Chains A and B, each alone.
Chain A
Amino acid sequence: MDVHPITHAPVPDRRPVRGLRLLGLAGLLLFAVAAFTPLANRLNIWMAGLATLELADAIVVLGRGGADTDGVLTNRSLRRTLYGIGLYGDGLAPVLVLSGSAEETHARASLAQGLGVPSGAILRVASTNTTKGEAAELRRLLLPLGHRRILLVADPIDMPRARAVMERAGFTVLPAPTAATGPSDPESRLGLLRDIVSELAGWMYYRLAGAL
């Protein structure tokens, strides 16, 4: 009887496939939790912290998203501006400081004036692109005028980093986050969670770069 050696075909390694399936399942679960539960809303509220709406030397509205090509402010920039104008209207500070890109501050100032803020009460921060840059410009503009105590208007998710950067620049910060509950529809919740992840990445980058 002839004996033939048994040859085995190489057994494919199934570990990568199993890993991919687990990763896919994790991604699917994350999607479901992000879209169909209030996780993003809870994080939004948590990151906003407590608003401290008290008398201040200036109301500082940080830039966010700029203006579209037609000069119209983006949703977030508009929300911040309107909130800052409202705080000015409530008499919480004598000065409204508008920050952001050149187009953004121009559109914001026009809106503020249109809504009754006197042009003499509006200060514009020179065009900057980062929160760190905004803090440096604000420091140069406001501290010589004695405006140290500021009401800081920013989105809830941006508040922790923005507040830390402003405090590091020498300001006493009173947080004034825009509406903190967040959206209620799945698509907007997904967008909010994406922004939260992005903001956390920014926070980590600032930590690593020594800006916080």
Chain B
Amino acid sequence: MSSTTLVLIVALTSLGAYLAATRFAGLRRADLRGAVMETLECLGLVVVFFLANFAVGTALILGLRALTGRFISVYIVNDATLAVLSLLQALVFHRWRARSK
């Protein structure tokens, strides 16, 4: 039930945003496809940054464990914050790349 409700809410606001954008903000319908493609690019970057953070974090923790003999939990990298930070990294990188073109 909660899944359906969430999807319905997002569908409604997306439809509202589409109508407002095309009727009042002067955005072109033809550009929507390109925007979706760029969003997918950005999401791809999120995945790349997330995997990199996960791999580097795990290697770092295991390396520190081996070097220092102290226990550091690998569950540190199993934190939702890492996904949010990866999103932030990807957004900055994506915008940086767009401005450099």
Chain A interfacial positions (CB closer than 8 Å to B)? 17, 19-28, 35-36, 129-130, 184-186, 191, 194-195, 198, 201-202
Contact = CB atoms under 8 A, between A and B. Distances in A.
A27 B51 CA distance: 11
Nearest to A185: B2
Interface string B33-48: 0000101111111111
Nearest to B79: A194
Contacts, number: 57
Nearest to A35: B3
Contacts of A28: 40, 43
Given A194-B78, A194-B80, A24 B3 contact: no
Interface of B: 2-3, 6-7, 37, 39-48, 58, 71, 73-75, 78, 80
Given A24-B47, A26-B47, A198-B74, 18 more contacts: A20-B45, A21-B37, A21-B40, A21-B44, A24-B43, A25-B44, A27-B44, A28-B40, A28-B43, A36-B3, A36-B7, A129-B73, A184-B2, A185-B2, A186-B3, A191-B80, A201-B58, A201-B74
Contacts of B58: 201
Contact of B44 (A19, A129, A184, A195): A19
Contacts of B80: 191, 194
A27 B46 contact: yes
Nearest to B43: A24
Contacts of A35: 3
Contacts of B42: 24
A79 to B, nearest CB: 17
B40 A195 contact: no
A20 B6 contact: no
A186 B41 contact: no
A155 B40 CA distance: 35
Contact of B75 (A21, A26, A198): A198
- Nearest first, the 9 closest Cβ-Cβ pairs linking A and B are A24-B43, A20-B44, A24-B44, A23-B44, A24-B40, A198-B78, A21-B40, A129-B71, A27-B47
B39 to A, nearest CB: 7
Contact of B39 (A19, A24, A184, A201): A24
Max count, chain B CB within 10 A of own CB: residue among A17, A19, A27, A201: A27
Contacts of B6: 186
A22 B44 contact: yes
Contacts of A198: 74-75, 78
A132 B44 CA distance: 36
A111 B53 CA distance: 38
